[in-house]
Chain A
Amino acid sequence: MSRGIAWQGVWTVLVFAFILTPIASLVFFSFNADRFPSLPWGGFSLEWYRAIFADDTVRAGFWRSIQVSAFVAVVATFIGFATAYTDYRYNFRGKMPYLAIAALPPTVPVLILGLGMLSFFSMVNLVGTLRAVMFGHVVICAPFAMALIRMRLADMSPDIEPAAWNLGASRWATMWRVTIPWCLPSIIASLAITAAVSFDEFMIAWFVSGLEETLPVRILALLQGQVSPRINAIGSLVFFISITLAAIGQLFASRKESTA
């Protein structure tokens, strides 16, 4: 019995090691003074971080990615909330197709999405703008927002909103005083997770950003030019930003309480 459990422990550690070793080594070698990521350790250094902060193209990419993910987080969460609420509050003909379409984008291969957006945005003269990246990311992020908020709404007692109406709160007042506060944890989770998805996203950004490179696009361009330990430093930064956002998302998404 205890042997079985011990083996399970070993196995779990192995699986985690398999998943995390590449990331750990990336972070580890980003602080290595040597040019090449190999042992023995060449001494601790922040040189590569200094180098990327000195690089204007990286700084510009970083700034663009932040703008995009902030916009995407807000807009995708708004659309996600609206979609989830429609599903919660109303019954109508064609509700199933409506939800299916709303959840569709992440199931389409990103390559196809990217190509589609490229041809569409070029028709409306948006290719090569940061707005194109923003719109593209909203499309893939809104379904995540909807899924998160819908889960939360499913736990809201169906009597809660009618109780607010009954106490004199109009639909709008009820939305602001009851529904949104109830959904707040999932809204925060959705903001964090959609920001993380957008911040990392490469394919769509690569297709439609043109010269307005976001950080992931910039990173790939750097890699193609030269293999430099600077990549490790950028990679570590991106990793910590994404993991922080994802952790915030998880923390709020998993909050549970009942309305009874």
Chain B
Amino acid sequence: MTAPILSLNSVTKMFGDAVALEPLDLAVTKGEFIALMGPSGCGKSTTLRMIAGLEQPTSGAIKLWERDITDLPPWERHMPMVWQSYALFPFMTVRQNVEFGLKEQRKFTAPDRRKKAEEWMARLEIEGFAARPVQKLSGGQRQRVALARALALEPEILLLDEPLSALDAHLRLQMQGELRRLHAELGITFVYVTHSQSEAFSMADRVAILSEGKLQQIGSAREVYAAPANRFVAEFVGASTILTGTAKGDGVIETPVGTFHATGGHAPSAGASATFLVPSNLVDLSASKSGAANEVHAELLTEEFTGAFVTLHLKLADGSLMKVQTQQSDLDRLGLNVGAHIYASWAADAAYILEGE
């Protein structure tokens, strides 16, 4: 494995007595698109700010190409950031904003600077607004200016702090595509902070999931999705129903809503408590009892229509909820209404048993 471009070695952060980040080790490969994801207060933004030099770690070291930059001030790190609030300079035009960082580099003459700014404005399709004050721009346009301003520095690493969360849904999707395209074309390393699973999973090569200042899992979207490291990750990803019971050995787990066979994931020792996941897209529904091995009786609570797919929320016998994703056509075939009684079943190898618990 090649040396990481950026590495965090046991980096921690305390705010007074509060732990914002427990010792975090992270190695980012050159050219990678890595997402730090988690609910608010999980430490993801603090981590990004420490990488940028805007917060000082309480302990640990941050290295850029093996060089310790922990004590380097932000203006010497050359890792421009795209902010959730855009943080554009309000009294400047678009062009002045884009040229801001270039001016500090002092290696460009005024015409070079101008040319470079033009190039990046053209690339982000904002050259038409060059002379406009940034306050006259829409949110989407502002975010493009922020991107141009950061990318004009031609950095090795670009930091992005929830860059899309202030945009409306349509624009967010469009910008996601654009960010992915830019990442592929430029070969720059992206470190992307988000609370949105869909953003992280659709764009990033690797996703690091944090909760309460602790790294829960790091891996590709596929890995995290298929094999969540623990209950938190499974809940955060939200793609499965989580059932807990007692392991009886040989993959048999007894739960309050029935006894099931589960062969995917880890093998719990007999007698121990065991938690397993039922992926919501691998559940079969039938109106009457089918006699399948893993079958549970449920009541249809709500349905959420999302295009070709429908997400159903079922209530199990003990009151816990089950999520099922199915096709609209299957639902029509069953002719189900809210409140209907229904049987849900899944294959033993579809269920995934979590480690521990």
Binding site for B on A (CB under 8 A): 157, 159-160, 162-170, 173, 177-178, 181-182, 184, 257-260
Q: With A and B bound together, what is the CA distance between A259 and B78 in angstroms?
A: 24
B79 sits at the interface (CB 8 A): yes
Q: Which of B53, B100, B149: most chain A CB closer than 10 A?
A: B100
**In contact, A159 and B83 (Cβ under 8 angstroms):** yes
**In contact, B75 and A170 (Cβ under 8 angstroms):** yes
**In contact, B89 and A165 (Cβ under 8 angstroms):** no
**In contact, A168 and B105 (Cβ under 8 angstroms):** yes
Q: Which residues of B contact A258 (CB under 8 A)?
A: 90, 135
Instruction: Using A159-B85, A160-B87, A181-B91 as known contacts, say yes or no to A166 and B104 having CB atoms under 8 A apart.
Output: no
B153 sits at the interface (CB 8 A): yes
Question: Lowest 10 CB-CB distances: which A-B pairs, in order?
Answer: A167-B101, A163-B87, A168-B104, A159-B87, A165-B74, A259-B90, A166-B81, A169-B104, A165-B75, A159-B85
Q: State how many angstroms separate the Cβ of B121 from the closest Cβ of chain A.
A: 16
Q: State how many angstroms separate the Cβ of B83 from the closest Cβ of chain A.
A: 5
Q: State how many angstroms separate the Cβ of A174 from the closest Cβ of chain B.
A: 8
Q: With A and B bound together, what is the CA distance between A168 and B155 in angstroms?
A: 11
Other-chain contact of B104, A167, A184, A257 (Cβ < 8 Å): A167
Q: With A and B bound together, what is the CA distance between A163 and B54 in angstroms?
A: 10
Q: Which residues of A contact B153 (CB under 8 A)?
A: 167-168
Binding site for A on B (CB under 8 A): 52-54, 73-81, 83, 85-91, 100-101, 104-105, 135, 149-150, 153
**In contact, B90 and A257 (Cβ under 8 angstroms):** yes
Smallest CB gap from B104: residue in A: A168
Instruction: Using A168-B101, A170-B73 as known contacts, say yes or no to A257 and B89 having CB atoms under 8 A apart.
Output: no
Q: State how many angstroms separate the Cβ of A55 from the closest Cβ of chain B.
A: 46
Q: Which residues of A contact B135 (CB under 8 A)?
A: 257-258
Smallest CB gap from A185: residue in B: B91
Q: With A and B bound together, what is the CA distance between A256 and B85 in angstroms?
A: 18
Other-chain contact of B89, A166, A170, A173, A178 (Cβ < 8 Å): A178
Q: Which residues of B contact A177 (CB under 8 A)?
A: 100
Q: State how many angstroms separate the Cβ of A25 from the closest Cβ of chain B.
A: 44
**In contact, B80 and A166 (Cβ under 8 angstroms):** yes
